[in-house]
Amino acid sequence: MPTSLPTSMSTSKSAGARRRRSVNLTIREDIMATAKSLGINASQAAETGLRLEIEKRLAERWLKENAGALNAHNSRIEKHGTLLTPDWAGE
């Protein structure tokens, strides 16, 4: 399972030229009517929503998979402080 957003899912300008796959979605009629009245492209909106949800879930997965390391790092900082004190932090 990938743990990062594939580069093919980037939002770069060339992303529009990527291959598309036709799918069927079931969306409430009132939502589609409002989207149509506002000139919203349903395919683009669905793609954007899916991409954002994928990014969110991959971030959640990463945090879960790395929780032990993050907790160990935070614990070390609490016990011993940072390895270096930045100039802006003073003494």
Kindly report the pTM of this predicted structure: 0.68
pLDDT at 51: 97
**What distance lies between CA 22 and its chain's CA centroid?**
23
What are the structure tokens assigned to 89, written together? 């932090």
The tens place of each residue's pLDDT in the chain, 91 residues long, gives: 566 666 656 665 555 578 999 999 999 999 999 999 999 999 999 999 999 999 999 999 999 999 999 999 999 999 998 888 888 877 6
pLDDT of res. 64: 98
CB 5 within 8 A of CB 55: yes
DSSP line for 10-69: --SGGGGGS----------HHHHHHHHHTT--HHHHHHHHHHHHHHHHHHHHHHHHTHHH
pLDDT of residue 85: 82
